[in-house]
Amino acid sequence: MAQSRRDFLRTSACALGGVAMASSLDTFKAVHALTPQAASDYRALVCVFLNGGNDGNNMFVDLNQYASYATSRGVDLALPQASFLPVAPVSGGSFGFHPNMPEMQTLFNAGRAAVLCNSGPLVEPLTKTTYQNGSGKKPRQLFSHSDQVGLFQTAIANTISQTGWGGKLADTTSGLNGGATFPSNVSIAGVNLFLTGVDTRQLAVADSNTPLANVLILNNAPGATSAESTSRLASFNELRTLDNNFKLIKASSDTRSSSLQTDAALSSVSPTLMTAFPNTGIGRQLKQVALLIKACTDPMAGINMKRQIFFTQIGGFDTHSGELAGQISLLTQVSAAINAFFAATVELGIQDKVTTFTMSDFGRTLQPSGTGTAVGSDHGWGNHQLIVGGSVLGQTLYGTYPTLALGGPNDTDSGTSPRGRWIPTTSVEQYAATLATWYGLSPADLTAVFPLIGRFPSSNLGFMAP
């Protein structure tokens, strides 16, 4: 089947779908940092983004504050105390997971999971007083979905950034991968800001319904003969040598070169797993991550990656109404999928080398919106996050759990209309910097990735073993 030059260039450029031309962002300004030596071990970070703003107030509850929780949430939104899955953190207290998260209860009690309490975007530490009197600096566009997603994914709360902290982390630690050419940043949920770097190109692939050997098809268009494919590839390679003195053209050529290398690396792999994953969107995404990790760490495959960052996502958490039923489904999926993924890392013998963590737009108000089966909650701020892995110092809470009281010391509002929107006591930068340090970011390079980190009392929250 004949193919025009324009069609050929378009399909070959888009076949990767997510090898983003990130070098065209930030006007090609590179992150200047010390290039580390190639790593001797493998480590990966896996983000599970809960899109829409997960209501952490019902996901993980301080049972010693249950009376205040139930009064504030009301009969339509408060879950029965007996339904929570109890855990006793070594850090003290009595807490409970949402009744549909038994896997998280088990992982927590086994010391493989931790909870970071009341974290969120911050420009600097804030108290209720400095928030309300305006003397403290606030993040931009609080309570807005798109803006708060951006602040979580960039970990910079005082400006718009075109690069995410996962992308900048990969930029700064690229030397840890030695001579490996496979993309270090991989999304199973489309191109995103989190993985976008200055030099790092993210690879976006489909979930496990698509075998890895088929996720990139650059040279085998339907109906094409082998001779035609060879001819097109030769023409393609010749075109890539032209006009490389122009930055944008060179960036495009480099992207295409990376696409061909990635296609060659994946076309010959067909990893399998014994671990059963739930047949849900997030389950299939995390299964594909596990398969990629197996392929990228298998010496026989020849990919030889040492550091990787993955992005997965599940939507539906914007629960202004119908929250109780919605969270039953969503948190069931999240808990089961993360548990299966951890089991897969155990199967591969790398559970200490892979850390899974959640992020979300924001938390939600303690005060309900609506009544009856339509009850939900509105946009909040501080929220609780899950961290799972063999190197996680688990069965512990990090950060500070808020006081569950409308108009209380952690609430942004007071007076006649308190909502229960928590002022974070731990910043996204501290959360991300702790993960990045475990990944291999040196202390000297922290500010290259997290420019505001010096404003907070600690850059390491202590939830990761060295």
pLDDT tens-digit map of 23-52:
334 433 444 445 568 999 999 999 999 999
Q: pLDDT tens-digit profile of 78-87?
A: 999 999 999 9
The pLDDT score that the predictor gives to residue 413 is 94
In a domain, 420, yes or no: yes
For residues 309 and 44, the answer to whether their CB atoms sit within 8 Å is yes
**What are the distances in angstroms from CA 29 to CA 11, 153, 155, 203, 398?**
29, 19, 19, 21, 36
Cα–Cα–Cα angle for 395, 400, 404, nearest 5°?
105
Contacts of 54 (CB under 8 A, 6+ apart): 317, 330, 358, 360, 363, 364, 383
Cα angle, residue 121 at apex, residues 383 and 377 outer, rounded to 5°: 40
DSSP three-state, residue 422: strand
The DSSP secondary structure of 72-97, one letter per residue, reads HHHHHHPPPGGGSEEE--TTSS-EEE
The answer to the question of residue 94 being in a domain is: yes
What are residue 377's DSSP bridge partners?
368
Beta strands at 397-399 and 113-120: parallel, antiparallel or unpaired: parallel
Supply the pLDDT for residue 174: 95
pLDDT at 22: 38
- In the prediction, which pLDDT does 401 show? 98
CA 381 to chain centroid, in Å, comes to: 18
In Å, how far from its chain's centre is CA 177? 21
**Residue 126: its pLDDT value, please?**
97
Provide φ and ψ at 206, rounded to 5°: -75, 170
Helix H or strand E encompassing 47: strand 43-50
Task: Tell me if 245 is assigned to some domain.
Answer: no
The verdict on residue 24 lying in a domain is: no
CA distances from 365 to 54, 107, 141, 329, 404 (A): 11, 27, 17, 20, 11
Residue 56 falls inside a structural domain: yes
Reading the block at residue 428, the tokens are: 């996204």
The token duo for 353 is: 């080398």
Residue 130: domain span: 31-211+270-455
Residue 250 lies in a domain: no
> CA distances (Å), 211 to each of 14, 112, 207, 409, in order?
18, 30, 8, 51
Q: Which is it for strands 113-120 and 85-87: parallel, antiparallel or unpaired?
A: unpaired
Amino acid 21: pLDDT: 40
The 10 Å Cβ neighbour count of residue 29 is 10
The answer as to whether 285 is a domain residue is: yes
Instruction: Give, for all 466 residues of the chain, the pLDDT tens digit.
Output: 444 444 444 444 333 444 444 333 443 344 444 556 899 999 999 999 999 999 999 999 999 999 999 999 999 999 999 999 999 999 899 999 999 999 999 999 999 999 999 999 999 999 999 999 999 999 999 999 999 999 999 999 999 999 999 999 999 999 999 999 999 999 999 999 999 999 998 999 999 999 988 877 544 444 445 676 667 667 766 766 666 666 555 555 555 555 555 766 676 678 999 999 999 999 999 999 999 999 999 998 889 999 999 999 999 999 999 999 999 999 999 999 999 999 999 999 999 999 999 999 999 999 999 889 899 999 999 999 999 999 999 999 999 999 999 999 999 999 888 999 999 999 999 999 999 999 999 999 999 999 999 999 999 999 999 9
Count of structural domains within the chain: 1
Report yes or no: 101 and 337 within 8 Å, Cβ to Cβ: no
Q: What is the mean pLDDT of the chain?
A: 88
Q: Residue 178's domain is classified under what CATH number? A: 3.40.720
Domain annotation covers residue 351: yes
Three-state DSSP at 349 gives coil
